[in-house]
Amino acid sequence: MKNIVIIGGGFAGAYIAKKLEKNKDFNVILIDSKNYYEFTPGILRTLVSPKHAKKIQVLHTHYLKKAKVVVDCVKKMTEKEIITANKHKLKFDYLFICSGSSYNAPFKEKNIVNLTRTRHIRDYYHKLDVAKKIIIIGGGIVGTELAGEIIDFYKGKNEKEIIVIHKHDKLMERNHEKTIDYADKFLKKHNVNILYNETALNYENNLVKTDKNRKIKADLVFLCTGITPNSEFIPKKLLNSEKQVNINEYFQVLDNKSNKPLKNIFAAGDITSIKEEKLAQNAEKHAKLIVKNINLIENNKEPKSYSPEKRIIVISLGRFNGIFQYKNKFIITGLLPGLLKTLIEWKTMRRYKL
């Protein structure tokens, strides 16, 4: 049997493990720093409703019937084996790097198991519940959605003063103007103060200082300022300047020096150098093609190439409002997109909970 090692149990890694464990010729090992799969976009709702965690998390051992799950952090990677923090040495015939990315706490964290994670989120919920003034640093999709969740949950009761500090001149600046305009009007309608073209330089004891000599005191500060690839364990010769893994059109990892692919090492999801939005659906698209390509390669056939394309984006502004955007052309706003985001979460989790 061939050893299949998968690093990371997120959208790409979980899918690959679930599919490849069905191959009788593969011995599949999933390494993850947490013991569960999580629908990460749902974390924002969990911040205002901790019970929601049960809907977006499932143990890896629940949906994996044959694969071995190793709850550990990868410390070192060579072209033949993986070495973990607990000094496990795992040799592989195929390696899949799906280690993803990290957000500022509490949106996406490493090294936390299920109960600890849920308790940590609950701590943030209690802080949020008593806070009167909240600062959100970053007006991208995460920051905008977080503001929407807080508005929705606290509407008409214990309402919060929300300030969004955004270094650009518009929210979610890579999206369609209609999407941007709808989000801007929605937040302002609910008394959110958006400070455009302003950068938060530092914060200490919930006092935020900006590049416009502004000092703002708040009860709670959330950082929503982008993602960082989880690539600390990957040799530098396989990374680009943004610490992402260089890959070819088949998702095979490239050596920077020779520009030749390591034919048995693949990467998928946020960790890759592909020029596209780092979305859950893109990670799953990567995973689906990788599974297909492994089967083709094993049967001595040519793998299929991947071409990035604009995807559907669904942005929630609470449970009952949102924005549906398709290829920066077709936009729907209001109740339907809000409900659609919940449906996507349910459909994704159903795949792993059945």
Q: What is the mean pLDDT of residues 15-38?
A: 96
| Predicted pLDDT at 86 | 95
How far, in Å, CA of 58 to CA of 190, rounded? Answer: 35
Give me the phi and psi of 286, to 5 degrees please.
-60, -50
Q: Is the pLDDT of residue 38 over 60?
A: yes
pLDDT tens digits, one per residue of 253-268: 999 888 899 999 999 9
Q: Is the pLDDT of residue 107 over 90?
A: no
**Residues whose CB is less than 8 angstroms from the CB of residue 243 and which lie 6 or more positions away in sequence, other chains included:** 228, 229, 231
Q: What is the mean pLDDT of residues 150-159?
A: 93
pLDDT tens digits, one per residue of 180-228: 999 999 999 999 999 999 999 888 877 899 999 999 999 999 888 878 8
| Predicted pLDDT at 157 | 86
Q: Is the pLDDT of residue 115 over 70?
A: no
Q: What is the mean pLDDT of residues 83-100?
A: 96
Confidence of residue 112 (pLDDT cuts 50, 70, 90): low
Q: Is the pLDDT of residue 152 over 70?
A: yes
| Predicted pLDDT at 268 | 98
pLDDT tens digits, one per residue of 229-242: 999 999 999 999 99
* In the chain, % of residues over pLDDT 70: 95
Mean pLDDT (the chain, rounded): 92
| Predicted pLDDT at 106 | 66
**Residues whose CB is less than 8 angstroms from the CB of residue 100 and which lie 6 or more positions away in sequence, other chains included:** 8, 10, 11, 12, 13, 108, 229, 230, 269, 270, 271, 283
pLDDT tens digits, one per residue of 296-345: 999 999 999 999 988 899 999 999 999 999 987 899 999 999 999 999 99
Q: What kind of fold does domain 2-33+72-103+227-298 have according to CATH?
A: FAD/NAD(P)-binding domain (3.50.50)
Sheet strand arrangement including 200-204: 200-204, 207-210, 215-217
Structural domain boundaries in the chain: 2-33+72-103+227-298, 114-226+311-353
| Predicted pLDDT at 225 | 85
The CATH code for residues 114-226+311-353 is 3.50.50.60
Same fold, 2-33+72-103+227-298 and 114-226+311-353: yes
| Predicted pLDDT at 299 | 94
Q: How far from each other are the two terminal CA atoms of the chain, in whole angstroms?
A: 28
- According to DSSP, the residues that pair with 245 across neighbouring strands are 239, 272
Q: What residue has token string 């409900």?
A: 339
Helices 141-153 & 177-189 angle (0-180, nearest 10): 30
Give the predicted TM-score (pTM) of the model: 0.92
Helix (H, G, I), strand (E, B) or coil at 174: coil
User: Shortest CA distance to 28 belongs to which of 74, 56, 70, 62?
Assistant: 70
pLDDT tens digits, one per residue of 282-301: 999 999 999 999 999 999 99
Higher pLDDT, 42 or 203: 42
